[in-house]
Amino acid sequence: MKANIPKTNQKRVVIIGGGFGGLKFARKLAKYDFQVVLLDKINYHQFQPLFYQVATAGLEPSAISFPFRKVFQKEENVVIRLTEVSSVNTKESFVVSDVGEIPYDYLVVSIGADTNFFGNEKIKSNSLPMKSISEALSIRNRILQNYEEALSVEDAEKQQALMNIVVVGGGPTGVEVAGTLAEMKKNILPKDFPELKFERMQIYLLEASPRLLSGLSQKSSDKSKEYLDKLGVNVRRDTRVKDYDGDKVSLEDGSLIHARTLIWAAGVIGNKLEGIPEDVLIRGNRIKVDRFNRMEGSANVFAIGDVCFMTEEKFPNGHPQVAQVAMQQGENLAHNLGRILKGGEMKCFSYKDLGSMATVGRNLAVVDFPFMKVQGFFAWLIWMFVHLMSIVGAKNRILIFINWAWNYITYDQSLRLIIRDPKKKK
């Protein structure tokens, strides 16, 4: 069954996924004479770097989301379909989706990456990932529900497990969520739950490698550890999680941590799409592409962002799986297809590293620019400005700024709502 897509004489470009790369590509390509078909399972763009603030009740989901149809209201050549793509046929050039088969002239795979549990199904079943807004809300629900339950538990050990939180993964997400939880422990939770003794609550950050923030400089790594220590987070490096049963975290050294909440931020793996040849997939399900983001062995299939693997002189092991790479690849590819349309030649992609950053807490952040490294209050201001300007939509920027300003003045937010499907048990 063919999908109901408007007929056109324009070349059709089908994009699977509206993340950072897919959205940037679609917005740039809409200026050219193509029919742009954007396919996604959800009808909005998610700003992933701030998921942790939704998970810790600092922002509402709507503040970091923006509907695709609102983005492309004025673009007549952009077609949006809310659907899940089950497979692609690269030989006959069509994708198979819930709404039917969609032929394409060019296909851009921008399906991103998901949480990597490294094959441990028990950890996958019992821990909480944070790769979507719904997962961030699940974390918020779990944390708040656990404290509600702790009020009714008399057994000290069970109450302790309900209060403890373990974060696995010392990258930006793990560092940011651990720091925010520590500030909640100090400024917010004791006021909400005065019957509980929060000096007993323990927040653990577990990292398998020798240092935190491995993508940043050693100085920033050391400084983030110093900030977390100051906030009271139990940071354990060179520590691997062996198992988790929903109550006890088993470490490879044989020790146990009792915690009913484990947030897993330890790695990513590319989302897999049926029909992509196995011989172009490398470790982590990443698709091998050339310097034009063209899939190896194909003339009209491209991949951008976390799901693609490209090497260049400065990045012989591939680019980091971060938003800036995806956005730069999306923009370069859009202009390349525009050049093809005009009979020109494509230009190779070259990643421009604009820097990396992470916030640890109030007035505490680390920023690595290619030309300088900053820590502390000034880095925190830079972090806020960069993230605020990266949000899609002026209204969202204003809402987030107001939320941040209010939180800075009052040390509090009133967003601690337990929202869940009424048909599901807690």
Can you tell me which residue has the tokens 């390349």? 336
- pLDDT reading at 254 higher than 60: yes
User: Taking the CB of residue 290, how many other CB atoms lie within 10 A of it?
Assistant: 15
Mean pLDDT score across all residues of the chain:
94
Burial string for 245-282 (b: 16+ CB within 10 Å, else e) reads eeeebbeeeeeebbbbbbbbbbbbbbbebeebeeebbe
Work out the average pLDDT over 243-250. 96
pLDDT for res 424: 62
> What average pLDDT does the segment 363-382 reach?
95
| Active-site residue, selected from the candidate residues 60, 84, 176, 274 | 176
Of residues 3 and 235, more confidently modeled: 235
The predicted structure's pLDDT at residue 292: 97
pTM, 2 dp: 0.93
Q: pLDDT per residue over 344-363, tens digit each?
A: 999 999 999 999 999 999 99
Side chain identity, residue 269: I
Q: Is the pLDDT of residue 130 over 80?
A: yes
Strand, coil or helix: 239: coil
Q: Which residues pair with 289 in a beta bridge?
A: 295
* Average pLDDT score over residue span 77-84: 96
176 is catalytic: yes
pLDDT recorded at residue 271: 94
Q: What is the mean pLDDT of residues 96-124?
A: 95
Domains and CATH numbers, the chain: 11-115+269-341 (3.50.50.60), 121-266 (3.50.50.100)
Residue linked to tokens 């005065």: 194
Distance of CA 265 to the CA centre of its chain: 10
- Quick one: pLDDT at residue 413? 75
User: Which pLDDT does position 20 carry in this prediction?
Assistant: 96
The count of other CB atoms within 10 Å of the CB of residue 377 is 12
What is the pLDDT averaged over residues 368-388?
95
With a cut of 60, say whether residue 425 has pLDDT above it. Answer: no
Question: What mean pLDDT is predicted for residues 307-320?
Answer: 94
pLDDT at 421 over 70: no
**pLDDT value at position 420?**
75
